Amino acid sequence: MKARQHRNFDPSYLAATKLAELGYCETRMVLAQRIGQRSTPEQRKARRAGQAEHERFDRQVRSAHNHASTQDRRCFIATAVYGADDQRTQQLRDWRDAVLSHSVPGRLVIRTYYALSPWIARLLVRLPLLQGPVRTALDHFRHGLTDWNTQGDPHEHDG
């Protein structure tokens, strides 16, 4: 079986498998160097299954990490009322990403929101008395989202 080539191969790189083989059986390493790698059909099948599982897990981890790093953190009005890292602000971001961004009308709502909301957020910061009524309106909106779209969501029962 031909070894996979890595894009940026570092010649000083020593795979953990090779290190483990050194500790396991140095004679095996010497023989493999002299006569080449030999494996049974069962070993080749197990190796392919292991590589496939590793690639599946790698895709899953990369997907989780890439999603978190590329997520749009903007949510101007909720940030002005709740704070940037509040779970209620995140619930609204999650709804935007999971629901609104997947349709043409939803994307139009997002564009309109981003055109108007920075101005509204600045107003909320300058006039804190407006934050209470806006918070109440956002709370009602969020609870409507919970009832309509996010059954069992961890944000469902927050204050």
3-state DSSP of 39-89: CCHHHHHHHHHHHHHHHHHHHHHHHHHHHHHHCCCCCHHHHHHCCCCCHHH
- Rounded to two decimals, the pTM is 0.50
For residue 109, pLDDT beyond 70: yes
Identify which has the larger pLDDT, 102 or 19: 102
Chain-wide mean pLDDT for the chain?
Answer: 79
State the pLDDT confidence band at 159, using cuts at 50, 70 and 90: very low
Residues in the chain: 159
What value does the mean pLDDT take over residues 12-25? 70
Residue 119 pLDDT:
93
Distance CA 14, CA 9 (A): 11
